Amino acid sequence: DVKVTQSSRYLVKRTGEKVFLECVQDMDHENMFWYRQDPGLGLRLIYFSYDVKMKEKGDIPEGYSVSREKKERFSLILESASTNQTSMYLCASIPGLAGAHNEQFFGPGTRLTVL
Amino acid sequence: GNSVTQMEGPVTLSEEAFLTINCTYTATGYPSLFWYVQYPGEGLQLLLKATKADDKGSNKGFEATYRKETTSFHLEKGSVQVSDSAVYFCALSDREQAGTALIFGKGTTLSVSS
């Protein structure tokens, strides 16, 4: 059974803290993504990675960074958490170069609250 | 640029009612189209997809047809169940940019009562 797992389902942090969200997939997928989901806004792309050590900015990268040291793991980092980063964070992966019409597999999400 | 517009929710229906959730898109290339569903407390999962014009995707009683002439991919189900209560997202991917992220609509919340 294919799987994308995220390190935490719920997380509460304080303003200014450095926050790490981890995502691991067991499908040997090349492409991995981080989205944030907010009511009325749908899903918005923060960053994606198409290979180890490669990363590309998405639509809303400000305040975030990412790390992809191993193929199966894609980490989202909030350098200094702020209250406007309170959101649901979703990780996804998709196989290879011909991924345009393939299914993206999503993790269960991490609901982050920044106080 | 590419975009997806889907009807605003919430949609509230009684069990066994007919469901339509409208989705239209704007794309420069020849996108693949998807419907994803998010059940309460879970991540998104693929409901159905269509990769070219006139294709019909179907799954769990849901259907959607890729209409190039109207740039639409409306989701339909003939008889909804309480268990269909969820958030539904229409999405597209640009075939010219394989491997890139999906572009999502804002989501439509469906609530079905018995």
User: What does pLDDT average to in each consecutive run of 10 residues of chain A (115 residues)?
Assistant: 87 97 93 92 90 90 96 96 97 74 86 96
Chain B residues touching A106 at Cβ < 8 A = 36, 43-45
Predicted local distance difference test score (pLDDT) of residue B97:
55
* Among the partner residues A31, A58, A106, nearest to B44 by beta-carbon distance: A106
Give the C-alpha separation, B73 to A23, whole Å: 31
Tell me the shortest Cα–Cα distance from B5 to chain A, in angstroms: 11
A1 contacts: CB under 8 Å, gap ≥ 6: none
Give the C-alpha separation, B25 to B91, whole Å: 9
Chain A residues touching B89 at Cβ < 8 A = 42-43
- Compute CA B40 distance to the chain's CA centroid, rounded to the nearest angstrom: 17
Predicted local distance difference test score (pLDDT) of residue A100:
59
pLDDT tens digits for chain B (114 residues)? 788 999 888 999 999 999 999 999 998 877 889 999 999 888 899 999 998 899 999 999 999 999 999 999 999 999 999 999 999 999 998 755 545 678 899 999 999 999
The DSSP letter of residue A26 is: S
